[in-house]
Amino acid sequence: VVVDRLVVIGGDAGGMTAASLARRRRDAAELEIVVFERGGFTSYVACGIPYFVGDVVHDPDVLVARTPEEHRRRGLDVRTHHEVLTIDVAAREVQFRDLHAGTEHRLHYDDLVVATGAVPRRPDIPGIDAEGVFGVQTLDDGMAVRRWVDEERPTNAVVIGGGYIGLEMAEALVRRGVHVTLLEQAPQPMTTLDPDMGALVAAAMRDMGIEVVLETAATGIERVGRRVRGVATDGAALVADMVVLGLGVKPGSELAAAAGIPVGETGGIVTDDRMATRTPGVWAAGDCAELHHRVTGRPVAIALGTHANKQGRVVGLNVTGGGALFPGVIGTAITKVCEIEIGRTGLTESEAAEAGFDAVAATIESTTRASYYPGAAPVTVKTVAERDSGRLLGAQIVGREGAAKRIDTAAVAVWNEMPVADVAALDLSYAPPLSPVWDPILLAARKTAELIS
């Protein structure tokens, strides 16, 4: 009996979802499944790192959804501390190194899943390797940050980069009693929002005691011996006992690109909607892959666990004879910094203009509950629509508890290309402890529709 071999590179969201589903659909007598993972963990939840650092979650074990041992018990040959060095697509082989033994070997595959994730951006500035400077990409990174906070008891931290990971890490450090300065090169934090909405985030962060330094770039890490002491910028220098990098990521597609597997303009591996790459027998899933944006029709690279899990599923089905499709993305994302929740979907006003849409936008202020109900908190919603068709192109939300998840209503409308007038008429729920009678999404859609009619 000839047993096919599926090789997976990367043992987290994309790779393990694909491997686990393939195993559920094919037993070991039909398909051997080998997963190579450079690190020591599998199926860990990077998304939980800020909450572990902030001590909202106390036990790091809960951040591992399934250990290598649990995967092995389910029939997967999981090889942690094994790094794939090259892919030979002609011979259908991977060359890998056992990082503990220091030995190198080759292994044949029938199908290969590349799920190598993303690579965090690191500024090329002097002193970046100082002790006390942390990236937060892997669980090991998260453990290292937490250890530093527990043991070194820093007074001042600088978070470089105002994307969602920077914001979540800022919150984590505030929770631990650290004075935080957020340094951002752009004129606003959260550049995935329009400037007016980003300004609300900056104001709210300042109200919470976070120092927000905008339009300023880090130019170096100042040290005493090996240890970080501060951050030099093109403005004033900042004092710091620790620095966290939150500068975003790029697709981790180098291994694939070196093998001649086509990579697109975003740096992500090009796939069709079955997640097959252009190289026979090779599939891709997760942050390493390029995505199709359903509103602009353009390729994008958006590193999110939501996409990695869904794509892993599509690959797991398709490598075992299924016909699953990944339908693309619309850029839906939520986050929170201290009491402020942030949501976005589709296109911002600036993105819509950039993509060539003649768009209109309206912003409303409302509350998360009936205004008289205790705990009612402010929420601002901005919606963007195409002028001619009235189609909802995108929405952004900044508000207090109960605000961000409302973005999902808008996401469904954007996905289905609904006109804003129809969104304004949706039968959304209402009860005073949970919503005003006009849900903020309805108000924003109505105001946008009025600009069109």
Residues near ligand FAD (CB under 6 A) are 9-15, 36-39, 46-47, 49-50, 83-84, 115-118, 136-137, 165, 252, 255, 286-287, 303-306, 308
Give the burial class of 345: count Cβ atoms within 10 A of its Cβ; 0-12 exposed, 13-18 middle, 19 or more buried: buried
Minimum CB–partner distance for residue 3 and ligand FAD (Å):
23
Minimum CB–partner distance for residue 218 and ligand FAD (Å):
19
- Pick between residue 155 and residue 306 the one whose CB is nearest to ligand FAD: 306
Q: In 3-state terms, what secondary structure has residue 288?
A: coil
- Pick between residue 242 and residue 308 the one whose CB is nearest to ligand FAD: 308
Q: In 3-state terms, what secondary structure has residue 44?
A: strand
Helix or strand run (H / E) with residue 148:
helix 139-152
**For the chain, how far is it from start to end, CA to CA, in angstroms?**
68
- Pick between residue 18 and residue 420 the one whose CB is nearest to ligand FAD: 18
Q: Which residue has the tokens 């985030």?
A: 201
Q: Is the dihedral of CA 122, 125, 126, 131 positive or negative?
A: negative
Minimum CB–partner distance for residue 312 and ligand FAD (Å):
7
- Pick between residue 195 and residue 305 the one whose CB is nearest to ligand FAD: 305
Contacts of residue 93, Cβ cutoff 8 Å, sequence gap at least 6: 87, 106, 107, 108, 109
Minimum CB–partner distance for residue 235 and ligand FAD (Å):
27
CA distance 337 to 201: 9
- Pick between residue 167 and residue 364 the one whose CB is nearest to ligand FAD: 167
- Pick between residue 82 and residue 446 the one whose CB is nearest to ligand FAD: 82
Minimum CB–partner distance for residue 43 and ligand FAD (Å):
9
User: Is 338 noted as a catalytic residue in this protein?
Assistant: no
Minimum CB–partner distance for residue 196 and ligand FAD (Å):
24
Parallel, antiparallel or unpaired: strands 4-9 and 31-37:
parallel
Q: CB nearest ligand FAD: which residue?
A: 286
CB contact at 8 A, 259 and 251: no
The side-by-side arrangement of strands in the sheet containing 218-224 is 218-224, 227-233, 238-239
Minimum CB–partner distance for residue 417 and ligand FAD (Å):
23
- Pick between residue 253 and residue 435 the one whose CB is nearest to ligand FAD: 253
Contacts of residue 313, Cβ cutoff 8 Å, sequence gap at least 6: 17, 18, 21, 324
Contacts of residue 261, Cβ cutoff 8 Å, sequence gap at least 6: 87, 89, 114, 269, 277, 278, 279, 282, 284
Which of 25, 47, 123, 125 is labelled catalytic? 47
Contacts of residue 113, Cβ cutoff 8 Å, sequence gap at least 6: 6, 7, 8, 9, 10, 14, 15, 18, 19, 282, 283, 284, 285, 315, 319
Residues serving a catalytic function are 47
